[in-house]
Structure formats: C-alpha cells, structure tokens
Amino acid sequence: MSDNINSRTTRRQQKDTMQKKPGRKMPQGLFKKILMAIVIFGLVVLVGGASLFAYYASTAPDLDEELLKDPLTSNFLTKDGDIFLKFGTEKRDFVPYDEIPQQMKDAILATEDVRFFQHGGVDFYRLGGAVLANFRSGFGSQGASTLTQQVIKNSFLKDEKTLKRKAQEAWLAYKLEKEYTKEEIFEMYFNKVLMSGNRYGFGTGASYFFGKKLNELELSEMAMLAGMPQYPNGYNPFKYPERAEKRRNIVLTLMNRHGKISTEEMEAAKKVPVTSTLLSEDERETFSKYPAYVDAVLDELEAEGYADLLAEGVTVQTALDPKAQEAVEAAINDPSYYESEDMQAGMTVLDTKKGTIVALGGGRNYSGRNLNFAEQNRQPGSVIKPILAYGPAIEELNWSTGQKVVDEPYKYKGMDKSINNADGRFLGTLTMREALYYSRNVPAVKTFEKVGGKKAEAFAAKLGLAYDDISSGHALGGGTAQFSTVQMAGAYAAFGNGGIYTKPHTVTKITLRDGKTVKNLRPDPVTAMKDSTAYMITDVLRDVLTSYGTAEKAAISGMDIAGKTGTTNYPADIMRKENMKSHYVPDTWFTGYTTEYTISTWGGYADYKTPITTYDYGRYVPQKLFKAVMTKIASNPGEFIQPDSVEEAAIVKGSDPIVLASSFTYSNLVRNELFVRGTLPAKQAIPKKVSIPSPSNMTAQFDANSNSIALNWNYDASKKYDSLGSPSFNVSVSIDGGAYQSITKTNAQSAVFSGAEFGRSYTFSVTATMGGYTSGSATATLSLAGSSSPVTKEPIIKEPDGDTEEPIEVPGDPNDEDNDSEQNDQNNQGQDNSNGQEQEGQNNNQGQDSAGNQEQSNQGNAEQEGQGNQGQGNQDQSPISPTPEAPPAENN
C-alpha cells in the first residue's frame, strides 16, 4: 500500500513540475502589447469612423422646408423627349396632424417606428439589432430607419444602401428633430409617403382605395394602408389583393403585440376580406393616357429603388413610342378578335436590338384598375421549346437544323408516363426543323433530355427565364414555371439580335432637379448564346409562319418574321371537375420578331378556370393581334443575315449521322439545312432510303364471343425499300382517350386485342419499322356502347392537326392524374383513307372529321380551326417541306 501512496505522490509532483515549466504561460509584457494594439486599433476605427461620418455629414444637402412638405411634379418623357405625363402633387390630399385618427397613428407607429416619440431621430436600440443582422447577412440586409429618417430620405436623398447615404440621413434626421416637433415630423411623413402610382399620403390612399375620409376608415382599412409604404405598388390591393391582405394581417399582429389593439379586435379585423371594402372598378381613378405603360414604368422604378425620387421633381426618360402604344391599344381593344366580351389579351412590344419596351397592352380597355395582362405570369406552352430544347441543342451539341429526331411512342426518362401529341399520332422520322415548326411534343422532350436539364436551365437563365427544379415536363411549357409577355419578348429578342440579350426595360434615364443623371438605368447587354445558335433558331422559326407551320395567320407578306405559337392545357382533374371538353385550353401565345421589333402576345381569361373554347376567335387571338400591330408599326425591317459562323448544305433527310445529299439522292429526301461552321459532314454518300410509307386502311372488328378486337391493316412498300429488310409493326391502344400503350410488335399485318369491355372507346394505332426507320401511324377507333352492340367506326388515319399543349403538369407530380389522356379526345366519328405510299414526295391523303374540332391541313397547313370542320390535306413539296408521312401539326 505504501508503494501506491508513493506512486501517487510521485505522479502529483511530476504534474506540478510540468505545470511550472517555462513557456506554458504568456509573458505579461506580450499580453499588454496585444491589449494595447486592440485599444489603438479600436481608437483608430472610432476616429476614422467619426471623421468619415463628419465628412459625409458636411456634404449633406440643406434642409428645405418646401421639399419636406410637398412633393414636386415629375415629368415622364417619350422616346422623342415629349412629355406624356406630369406625375405629382395633383394626387395628394394634405391632412394636418390633429385630424389624423389615433388608431391610424397607432397602425403606422407599430409598423414603422414604435419608439418614434422616444428617440432623437436615430433609434440606437433598433440600430444595434440591424447592425448585427447586417454583419450576418451583409450590409443593407436589414434597415433601422425611423420615421424621421424616412422623411429625410424621401425628401433629399436617393434610395440607395450606402454608408454615405446612411450617414447623411442620420445627420439630417438629427437636425430635423432639432428644428421641428415630433408632431410636425409625423405630419410630414404621413402626407409625403408614396402609397401607389402617383398618389402620396395616407389621406390620398384612403380616398383612392376606399372612397373614404380618414375618420371613416375601419381598423382593417387603416392597417392595410399602414402596411403599404414598404412596397407601394406591390401591395396595391386592386392588383394584388392576396399580397395586400397578408401584409395587412402583419400590421394587425404588430399593433396587437405593441398593445395598440386587443386580440379580439385583431382577429375580427383579419377576418375582413381586403377586397370587400375597396372601391368598385368603375369608381376608381385612373391615368388618363397610356395607363399600362405607366404601370410598367412605376413597377420598374420601384423595383430598382427609384420610386421615391418621383416626389423630387425629376425627369424620367422612357422608351415609349406613342405610335406603337396607340397601335397596341387599338388592336387589343377591337372586340372582333375575341370569342367573348370577357376574353383578355396582353402584349409587349420591344425594340429587338435595344431591349427597350416601346409599347404595352395591359388588357382590353385597360385603365390601371386591374391586373396588367402584359406583366402577369402564365404557363408558356410551346413558346418555350426553342429555349429549353432546340436552342440548347444547337448551342451545346452543335446540332444541325437537319438533325434526325423520331416522333414515336415515348415515356419521360426514368418514369412510367407516356407523352402524347395533340393529334394522337406519331410522325416517325423528322428533322429538328420539322419537329420544331410542327411543334411535336415527343421530339421536344427527347431533345431536352439529350441536352440535359442543367444546360437547358442555364440557357434559359441567360435569356431572363429562371427555373427551379427543372424537369422534362418544362420542355413542353408545363410545370410551375410561369412567365409574362415582357419576359418572353426579351428572350426572343435575343434570337433576333444575334444572341445578345438585354433585360426589357421602360426607363432609360432619370434626370434630377439639379441636372445630374442617375446612372446605370440601362441594363447591360450580355451574350446569351452564339450568333450561330440565334440565327439557326430564327431560320427554323421563319417556317412557323408558312403554310406548313402553325402561325400562318401571323405572317405579313414581304416581311421577314420568325416566331412561335404556344398553347397550354388543363390538368385532368380540373377538366373532369369543370366538365370541360377536350379542346378547351387556358392560354394561347404567339411571340414573333423582326430585325426591328419583337412582340409577345398572350390570350386567355383573367380566371384561369375559364377556358378558351374556340379556334378562330379564341386560340388565334395572339397571332391576329401580332399581325395587326406589326403591320402598323414596322417601318422598314430588314432580313435576318446569316452570320459567317453558319453554313448551309443539302443533306439526306433522316440520315444519322447526317449525310450530304448527292445527285443520286431522291429529290423528296433532299433538305437544305444549316450547320455550325466546322461541323459539316466531310463527304457525300449515296444513302439508303430513309423515309418509309405508313400503314393504311386499318380496321377494328369486335368479337362478342371472345371479347376481343381483331385488327387489320394494309402495308404496301415498293421494291425500292427491299434493302431495308422486312417491315415490322408496333400496335398501340388508347382507351377512352388515355395515353397510348403498346399492345404488340408483329411482322404480320394483323393483331388481336383481348379483354375489350362494353362502355369504352378504343383507338388503335399502328406504325411500321424498316431498317431502323419508323413511319407515321394509321389509326382506327371502336366504341363499345354499354352492353349493347358495338358502334363500329370507319377506319381512320387521322391527320396531325391542332394547337394544344401536352400536359401542363411536370411529370411525376403527385396531383397529376394522367393528364395526357385529356389531350386527345378520340370519340369522334370520322373517315380518313390514305394510300400510305410515297411517290417521289407526293402523298394524297383524304380525311373527314365530322365531330371533332380540328381543321385538316390544306396545302400543308395543319392549324386547328373551329368546330365540326371538314377538309382535305395535300402535302406540299419544297426543299424543306415535310415528308409524305408527316403532315404538319402543332402540339403546344
């Protein structure tokens, strides 16, 4: 035991010895030096900061009583320098302090500056919290401005987050508190603050929004007004009622937290809908001239932090072209374009090269009382295909416009969800050019997936279109991403401007009262894509306005125009709930451009669930408005010039890799296509036949004994196809208008479908495959009526037609209930016979649709028209015309 004691004693002595070894303790002299250095550094910072503050304060403007109390009139100028709006004091009702209701004061103070009557102009307690927040999140992330500082900022200083401005603001706030009483300062703030548009002061706000005097306002109305100064135009309840109500409820919560109202009063006021006490539309004041454009200017100034300058008598130089604006308003207000009195439209006109907004159409008879449809966001439909699919493919993969793509039954990558085209058909082998101007859905998704979501998203971002969690469904204009005509015009203008993108803007310059100019108001142009990509997309989009494209109604004779149509559709659950017909859609688009102007137009209804039900007076509204406006405003647009980075060559359509055409190539297979310079194939070759005939005369016969349906079809391929081998056939079925599902693959010209059920409608499709090439399809429809005898429809080969988007929902959405099935209503009785033969580019298809809502193509034109149309389609031939098996259709 003594040994253990000695051991413990020894260990304790060793530990004490080690703790006393030199070097384990900081020398006292070094500690003093470090402490002294910290103190000196702090003094230097303090003295430096004080000196900088003194310098900034010495450069601050003098207090001007006139500016403190009355905002001055600002002038808005057209692009030519003419005044089109005097913006200012005529929209201001002055209210003295003693006439302001106490509850109105409480609402403002609880929201903006609860310690207003305790501080001396700068609230150091609140400032400390803001400083900590700024250290964590960066300078300017959180403010601590008092009402006094806000009066100073609104009267003398620019709304910018800089040390200089904050120092000057604090100094002038201190001076203001010395020269005026708290009541006088509150009165200045109350009457000077911007409420919305060109309306200043809470008294003006009460009259404008509610048609009341201040002493007539309810608590909920006072709270709404008190919350508006933070974001005046953004919290405008006429335009953004949900946003305004949310902000109002925050104010009510703050009033309760600071003991200004009881919990019962707060809850009762929150239950009042913000729209319930607003003035009706016909009672509201409006701008007398160009209200949609003025709205855009004000929104832009507010977004850039310059809205407060309007109270200082500034001059705002805009890009407004009165001639263009009046043309837009005249066209958009013409009732002859629309299917109903309630249908709406929005339009943006840009200078293609500058990116300036020269005109805006906010809606029919727009007065600023409601939503500006030029700036609203809606799903883009197929307008997005050049941006998310084909543009990135050229930019990233050096695709030619003759790149082979196959329109065939296909599912989203990694998902058990089929993609449909609007016409329910698959056109087989196409070029990229054809896939885009026909607006086929399957090739667009395939192309998007080939490029990759990240690269497609990056391409769109450079054009001002932001995506979150992008997926294949976005390539068809669906999903949660929504854009405005302003954004879409900006993106397309880059295609017309050699790949240079400039953010759309209305304001080019602001001149202060002293003659100085506020800089950096023109967004910097950026290179969004190669000029080769821009031109090649433009060249394809020219074809959209031809007889075999989808926007022939937008074409103007003799004018070089490129553009793209777009249509969205409803999810299946909404269509069922609202009992909608299959051709009903919510949105229709057209965005087109010349070297001079870019115009994006949207058509639809303010209520998303109100559908567009017709074609000529519904879906074609954007095309017709585009044509009306472009015809009036175009002065002398030139042609798009092919850059040196692009070269043209004749190729064999469908060859993969691409083969240059030779003198031995069948003429109907020759296509003149564009290439990024340096990617042209090295040599010519004599290709095999690559475009194969489609099956024809498909029939469907029901056998009640076996509940099966016997399918038969004809297939006639001439000897020139022998080198491709024997044909095989892929048979698919769509049940009750649902997505096509493959039944079988066979070498015979017949098949059997088992398990047929009464009360259902079956549409069968068959395509041929030879030598790796896929043909177009033939279809037949059979309806089994209840438990009675089946209603047998004549065999049909439906011509691709229509202008309807594939599903608007992103694939994989848990709320998506097979939206594809709503896209192609096959419960029509019809007849369509095709010889299925290719005869040196000639194809004679005849079709009849007695119950559908689709117009068959005429001379290659496959736009959807009104209901119950009948027609015949004959395929035109040209160097870039579609194959005989691929008549045009849009699937927006």
Catalytic residues: 112, 382
Which whole-number Å values give the CA distances from 816 to 586, 612, 677, 807, in the listed order? Answer: 17, 22, 43, 9
Q: Extract the runs of DSSP E, i.e. beta strands, from 187-283.
A: 194-196, 199-200
* Residues 475/388, Cβ–Cβ less than 8 Å: yes
What is the C-alpha to C-alpha distance for residues 350 and 340, in angstroms, rounded to an integer? 28
* Residues linked to residue 509 through DSSP beta bridges, in sequence order: 317
The three-state (H, E, C) secondary structure of 352-393, written as one string: CCCCEEEEEECCCCCCCCCCCCCCCCECCHHHHHHHHHHHHH
* Residues 471/812, Cβ–Cβ less than 8 Å: yes
Q: Which residue has the tokens 């109500």?
A: 245
Taking residue 108's Cβ as centre, other Cβ atoms within 10 Å add up to 27
Query: Residue 875: which of 854, 861, 889 has the closest Cα?
Result: 861
With a CB cutoff of 8 Å and minimum separation 6, the contacts of 813 are none
Taking residue 577's Cβ as centre, other Cβ atoms within 10 Å add up to 11
Q: Which residues of 813-837 are buried (b: 16+ CB within 10 A; e: fewer)?
A: beebeebbbbbbbbebebebbbbbb
Report the SS3 class of residue 704. Answer: coil
What is the C-alpha to C-alpha distance for residues 852 and 802, in angstroms, rounded to an integer? 11
Report the SS3 class of residue 401. Answer: coil
Four-residue CA torsion sign, 658, 660, 664, 669: positive
Q: Under the phi-then-psi rule, with left for phi > 0, alpha for psi from -120 to 50, and beta for the rest, what region is 812?
A: left
Four-residue CA torsion sign, 613, 617, 619, 625: negative
What is the C-alpha to C-alpha distance for residues 534 and 390, in angstroms, rounded to an integer? 11
* Separation of first and last alpha carbons in the chain: 95
Query: Residue 456: which of 536, 378, 542, 384 has the closest Cα?
Result: 384
**Length of the chain as a residue count:** 892
Cis peptide before 101 (omega within 30 of 0): no
Query: Residue 165: which of 178, 150, 176, 180 has the closest Cα?
Result: 150
Taking residue 348's Cβ as centre, other Cβ atoms within 10 Å add up to 29
Query: Residue 314: which of 500, 491, 517 has the closest Cα?
Result: 517
Q: What's the Rg (C-alpha) of the chain?
A: 35
Q: Extract the runs of DSSP E, i.e. beta strands, from 444-550.
A: 500-501, 507-511, 517-518, 526-527
Q: Which residue has the tokens 């306005």?
A: 545
What is the C-alpha to C-alpha distance for residues 479 and 724, in angstroms, rounded to an integer? 41
* Residues 328/361, Cβ–Cβ less than 8 Å: yes
Q: What is the DSSP letter of 653?
A: T
What is the C-alpha to C-alpha distance for residues 812 and 42, in angstroms, rounded to an integer? 59
Query: Residue 382: which of 166, 152, 587, 642 has the closest Cα?
Result: 587
Query: Residue 603: which of 295, 239, 863, 331 has the closest Cα?
Result: 331
DSSP 206-229: IIIIIS--GGG--HHHHHHHHHGG
Q: Which residue has the tokens 């029939």?
A: 699
